[in-house]
Structures are given as structure tokens and as C-alpha cells.
Amino acid sequence: MTKILTGGVGKAEVTDTIKRLAIDGLDVVASSDMDAAMKLRVGQADYYLGTCHTGAGASLGVLVGLMGSAACHTFGRGVPTEDEVAALLADGKKAFGFSMDQIDVIAPLMARAIAARG
């Protein structure tokens, strides 16, 4: 089971959006950024999806500070392609930030890409 933690101002919406997809093998749980960083570091979670109004600083600030920028990526207000997401996951990124107005597009895209990795 792959565990995705959600955080930031849109964490409930991201959690609900992914749960509605009913993808086998994914467990999605709303969290705080500090708790998520700790769980990612010790292997109790696999990925973090954080949201804020711009998708930049607040969506990943704590995660970047505790995990390092190499593990994190922000989409900001942009919408990535499936290939871009797959490349980021293959590169070892674990924490992703995006803006609240992109939840309906990016959350399903991320969930499907994560599930495809097995």
C-alpha cells in the first residue's frame, strides 16, 4: 500500500479528490506538514501533496527545510504533463506542492502516476 499524505490549506480537498478515484493500493490521509516530513523521513509515508494559494512557498516550506530541495518539487500554478510527473517520480521526488485552484487537475494526475509506479 502506497501512503500519500496531504497538507496545506487544501489538504481536505486533495484527500477527498484522491479518495473519490478509488485507486487500489493508495492510502491517502490528511496531515500537517511537520508530521508529513517526519513520516516521510522514517518511511511511514511515501509521498506528500501540499497546497497553498500560489503553489510555491507555503505548500512545501517545511518539507524543503526538513527533507531538502532534492526531495521536493513545486508546480506553482502550472499544470504538469503525465510525462513530467513520471520523470519527477523517477527522479526520487517525494513531496509536491501546487496551488489550490489546480487541485481538481493535479491531485488525480499525481495519484494515478504514483499508483502506476506500484
Beta strand pairing status for 26-30 and 72-76?
unpaired
Instruction: Please say whether the beta carbons of 36 and 96 come within 8 A.
Output: no
Q: What is the Cα–Cα distance from 70 to 91, expressed in whole angstroms? A: 9
Beta bridge partners of 96: 49, 73
pLDDT value for 91: 97
Alpha-carbon gap, residue 6 to 9, rounded angstroms:
10
The whole-model pTM stands at: 0.96
| Count of CB atoms situated within 10 Å of the CB of 68 | 10
pLDDT digits (tens, 9 = 90+) for 7-50: 999 999 999 999 999 999 999 999 999 999 999 999 999 999 99
pLDDT (0 to 100) of residue 53: 87
Evaluate if residue 72 carries a pLDDT over 80: yes
**Closest among 64, 9, 5, 12 to 36, alpha carbons compared:** 5
| pLDDT of amino acid 71 | 96
Residue 15 has a pLDDT of 98
